[in-house]
Chains A and B, each alone.
Chain A
Amino acid sequence: MAANVVNRETVRDEIVGLLSAALTGVGNPAQAVYGYQVADFQGQSPVVVVTSRGSRRTQNTYGETTGLTEFDYEVHVFTLYAEGTAWTEANAEDRADLLEKEIADTIADNRGGSAYDYLAYADDGTVMDAVELGGAEYKHEVIPIVATILN
Chain B
Amino acid sequence: MAGHVIYDAGLTVNGTDISGQANQVEMRLSRAEISWQNYGDAAMNKDAGIRDEQIRIAAVYTDGATEAVQTLWDLYTGSDGGTDGTVAVTPIASGTTWTGVGKIIEMPVTVNMGEVGAVDVTFAIDGTIATS
Residues of chain A having any CB pair with chain B under 8 Å = 59-64, 66, 68, 118, 120, 150
Contacts and interface: CB of A to CB of B under 8 A. Distances in A.
B60 interface: yes
B21 A63 contact: yes
Given A66-B20, A150-B60, A59 B116 contact: no
B11 A62 contact: yes
Interface residues of B, number: 16
Contacts of A118: 114
Instruction: Choose among B59, B62, B116 the residue with the greatest number of A CB atoms under 10 Å from its CB.
Output: B116
B23 A120 contact: no
Interface of B: 6-11, 19-23, 59-60, 62, 114, 116
Nearest to B117: A150
A103 to B, nearest CB: 18
Contacts, number: 34
A5 to B, nearest CB: 15
Given A62-B19, A64-B7, A64-B8, 14 more contacts: A60-B23, A60-B116, A61-B21, A62-B10, A62-B20, A62-B23, A63-B19, A63-B21, A68-B116, A118-B114, A120-B114, A150-B60, A150-B62, A150-B116
B22 A62 contact: yes
User: Could you tell me the dominant secondary structure of chain B's interface residues?
Assistant: loop
B59 A61 contact: yes
A66 B10 CA distance: 14
Nearest to A61: B23
Contact of A61 (B10, B60, B114): B60
Contacts of A150: 60, 62, 116
A130 to B, nearest CB: 34
11 contacts: A59-B7, A60-B116, A61-B19, A61-B20, A61-B23, A62-B8, A62-B20, A62-B23, A63-B8, A64-B8, A150-B116
